[in-house]
Amino acid sequence: MKQVLIPTKLEKVAKELLAAKGFTVTQDADATLADLAKKYPDTQALIVRSEKVTAAVIDALPKLKVVIRAGAGYDNIDTKYARKKGVDVMNTPGANANGVAEEVIAMVLAQYRQIIPADATTRQGLWEKKNYMGREVTGKTLGIVGLGNIGRLVAKRLEGFEVKVLGYDPVISAARAQEMGVELCGLEKLFAEADIISLHVPATPETKGMVNAALLKLMKPGAVLVNCARAEIVNEDDLRAVKQEKKIAFLNDVYPADAAGPKSCADIADIMLPHLGASTHEANWAAAKRSAEQLIAYAERGVTTYVVNKGVPDGLDERFQQLAYHLTCVARGFLGAAPVSRIEASFYGTLHPFGKWFLPPIVAAITSDFDPSETPDAAEAFLAGKGISVGIRDTDESKKYGSSMTLDLTAGAGGKLQSVSVRGTIAEGNLMISRIDDFDKLYFMPEGHSLMVVYKDRPGVLAKITAAVAAAEINIEDIRSPHNADGTMSLAVLKVNRAVPAEVQDRIRKDTGAETVAVVSIQ
């Protein structure tokens, strides 16, 4: 991985570090990324700042393996499409943090001391000292929404002003917050008690519009709201409605698009900056250096610590996600068209810590409406929205199942519920189904087209099944036919060269009295 494209103004330290390691680096800040992608189709690594890395750009670079965002936010990169194409996306969290934290402080001081209008009128030869009575930051209550790298630095940098700091972050522990001198609290308390509120959360479906009328109405008269995070977090219409009544000061550095043109918040922002948070020489140098170091570690040692669109976390073989998908397809085939109402799963051995990471492929096997590249949280939300309950069970490792998984699907509604249980593993690099319901030691590879028939065990039934398949000129590639534990039932699994038509399934059902006839096709 030696071909690197940097289509942006980035400190030369990145190019120097990479060149010293034998990378071929092309840096061009004048041409568009689209044009550069056409000109350098052999690019394997891309380092960007705010340039849009779209699906079209990714498609134009067929050898692309990694995109590194020299900065924290990466919503300018189509991470989902990149995952589909096997492209890792990294960011450099913390590289710009100090620059943004200092910008927050600069904006608050400028607002409190009315520096911008005072400068303008003084340059005009006026002396309006009496009009610019200010306020002091010292002794105020600061509210920080999001205690990540930037939020923590804002708190640290303002320590010298002897402020009380309230913090909201659903992930950080109370002990860690206490170490930082931050009192954790809910959003309502923070917005009601803080004199200055600074936002430092990413733009996600959960945070979009989170600063709304309900919170804004809680703010103190004359309080200051600072947004150096993402524009989507603040509901501008709600702020517009509340601002005048509460005399809220709004200091803003982020917009829906980083481009020239009218800004929707111009009528409500007291200070507007053109997304300058990371625009310091020091931040640019740090982000450039971090980008190069991460790329070198990624290329030379496979370090993926900062990959933000991982299909799987470190330590999990992604083939097990394929196994989860295949198990679900088989279970779904057994259940027919009945809607799934519950999913239960057990993950054994090394798989147990990664249970939630199997939810996206499971959901994708249940419905084509879900993209398997989505996150585990998205899978949980999708299932909740569909009214499908899900449970990941504790496992008994004394059973010594190794790295395997068991998936139980329940379908139907009311008193017409039916369920199926499927267990699988990976053996010698092959995806294997080892059990379906009470039919154990199956050792069946669930790829291609399969016909599965459950029937009362008696002589001659398997011959009728194979005869019906042969009569339809369908070739049988493999057969498995285990009994259940008490020997009363049999399961015939036929791997065939094409899908078995409905009329052949009906004939098998009629000729054998089968309880279940299922067809599963996995490409």
Q: What are the pLDDT digits (tens) for 348-374? A: 999 999 999 999 899 988 887 777 777
Q: SS3 for 45-74, per residue?
A: EEEECCCCECHHHHHCCCCCCEEEECCCCC
Do 24 and 42 touch, CB atoms closer than 8 A? no
What dihedral angle (degrees, nearest 10) is formed by the CA atoms of 32, 202, 199, 304? Answer: -90
pLDDT digit string, tens, across residues 478-522 = 999 999 988 899 999 999 999 999 999 999 999 999 999 999 998
Task: State residue 414's pLDDT score.
Answer: 62
Contacts of residue 339, defined as CB under 8 A and 6 or more positions apart, other chains included, come to 411, 412, 413
Enclosing H/E stretch for 405:
strand 404-411
Domain(s) labelled CATH 3.40.50.720 in the chain stretch across: 3-94+283-301, 97-272
CA distance 199 to 182: 15
CA distance 256 to 244: 24
In 3D, which of 83, 42, 47, 49 has the Cα closest to residue 64? Answer: 42
CA distance 209 to 227: 12
Top-tier CATH class for 97-272: alpha beta
Poorest-pLDDT segment among 174-178, 274-278, 338-342, 419-423:
174-178
Q: What's the mean pLDDT in 248-267? A: 94
Q: What's the mean pLDDT in 235-253? A: 96
| Residue 504 three-state SS | helix
pLDDT digit string, tens, across residues 15-32 = 999 999 999 999 999 999
pLDDT digit string, tens, across residues 463-472 = 999 999 999 9
Task: State residue 171's pLDDT score.
Answer: 66
Domain(s) labelled CATH 3.30.1330.90 in the chain stretch across: 312-444
pTM of the model: 0.62
| Residue 252 three-state SS | strand
Q: What's the mean pLDDT in 304-323? A: 83
Fold designation for 3-94+283-301: Rossmann fold (3.40.50)
CA distance 205 to 207: 6
At the second CATH level, the architecture of 312-444 is 2-Layer Sandwich (3.30)
Q: What's the mean pLDDT in 425-442? A: 92
> With bands split at pLDDT 50, 70 and 90, how would you rate the model's confidence at 385?
confident
Task: State residue 5's pLDDT score.
Answer: 97
What is the distance between the terminal CA atoms of the chain, rounded to a whole angstrom?
A: 31
Enclosing H/E stretch for 103:
helix 97-112
* CATH code linked to domain 447-523: 3.30.70.260
Task: State residue 381's pLDDT score.
Answer: 84
Q: What percent of the chain has pLDDT over 90?
A: 72
For residue 177, pLDDT beyond 70: yes
Task: State residue 413's pLDDT score.
Answer: 62
pLDDT digit string, tens, across residues 37-69 = 999 999 999 999 989 999 999 999 999 999 999
Residue linked to tokens 């380092």: 47
Domain(s) labelled CATH 3.30.70.260 in the chain stretch across: 447-523
